[in-house]
Amino acid sequence: MKKQFILFALFISVLNFSQNLKKEILKITKDKNATVAVSVKGIDFPYEFNNENADKKLPMLSVFKFHIAAAVLNEVDHGKLKLDQKIPLKKSDLLENTHSPLRDKYPNANVELTVDEIIKYTVAQSDNNGCDILLRLIGGTQTVQKFMDSKGIKKFQIKYNEEWMHKGKEYLYPNYTTVKSLSLLYKSFFEKKILSEKSTAYLMNIMLGTTTGANKLKEQLPAGTAIAHKTGSSGKDGNLTIAENDSGIITLPDGKHYAITVFVIDSTESEAVNTKMISDISKKVWDYFNSTHKNK
């Protein structure tokens, strides 16, 4: 009877939080001209929240570099690639007018980089040239799609690389996922259902070192909080921000983990407003989980 009472109390607590979180998100997004999609999933504890936009197919932007890195590491797991394998960097690989710390460091190319180095540039620093080098290495976006399909990932599509995405906004929307699908993917990834134990730990470590999006999910969390995340941003197209995204796995002080995905889509708000919505939602979720786990 005592166990049943505890489970019932936990159910009521979770239900109340979900209802309160829905209200808090509505307050945060009130009068904002944007579509905001939110999904939260407990990884090693039971919890799930999805707002009314969580099942909409929305553009990922650079968030898709997580999926690309996972597909590359699958090749490593199967012995088709090695992390220390050298890849020649050519001048033609370094497109201008795109975010590329890799190009900034090696403007004249003519060097060799390891697969490991290129993955780190692509994921942690969201390098667009590195992204396309990896895609060429594994056979294009179709290889990523087939891999995700093989793992049962639903409502995910990747059709265009970064070079094509820079040709026009019509090439951004076909690279989509739902925030619900992505949070579930992060849970499966953490549980080592997507990659080997070694590759899972490797990619988690890179994501913990992400340098982009300091003003999004992690902004209001306590200093030193472990957040393995991947961001995405379209920048402005006139007055329109097609996507301002952040997603990943957050570790609570008690060692438990949760996945959180927040996409702000088709917004005419400023960058500051868009990122603040993500930051505020992240803080609300953190405060609840931290307080409930602390009181157990």
Catalytic residue among 162, 183, 244, 247: 162
> Is 7 contained in some domain?
no
What does the mean pLDDT of the chain come to? 94
Give the start-end residues of each E strand in 129-205: 176-177
> Is 8 contained in some domain?
no
Question: Does residue 295 have a pLDDT over 60?
Answer: no
Model pLDDT for residues 88-123, shown as the tens digit of each residue: 999 999 999 999 999 999 999 989 999 999 999 999
* CA distance readout (Å), 54 to 9, 41, 279: 27, 12, 17
pLDDT of residue 294: 59
CATH code for position 272: 3.40.710.10
> Is 163 contained in some domain?
yes
Closest CA to 85 of 98, 74, 97, 76: 76
> Is 22 contained in some domain?
no
Active site residue 267: no
SS3 assignment, position 291: helix
> Is 26 contained in some domain?
no
The whole domain housing 167 covers 32-294
Residue 210 CA to residue 245 CA, distance in Å, equals: 14
Give per-residue burial for 86-97: e unless 16+ CB within 10 Å, then b: ebebeeebbeee
Which range, 1-10, 19-28, 241-250, has the best average confidence (pLDDT)?
Answer: 241-250
Catalytic residue among 62, 126, 199, 282: 62
SS3 assignment, position 42: strand
> Is 103 contained in some domain?
yes
pLDDT of residue 4: 55
Domain count, the chain: 1
Name the pLDDT band for 7 (thresholds 50, 70, 90): very low
What average pLDDT does range 15-31 have in this prediction? Answer: 86
The one-letter amino acid at 162: E
Its sign, for the CA torsion 10, 13, 18, 21, is: negative
> Is 12 contained in some domain?
no
pLDDT of residue 6: 45
pTM of the full predicted structure? 0.94
Quote the percentage of the chain above a pLDDT of 70: 94
pLDDT of residue 11: 52
Active site residue 100: no
> Is 5 contained in some domain?
no
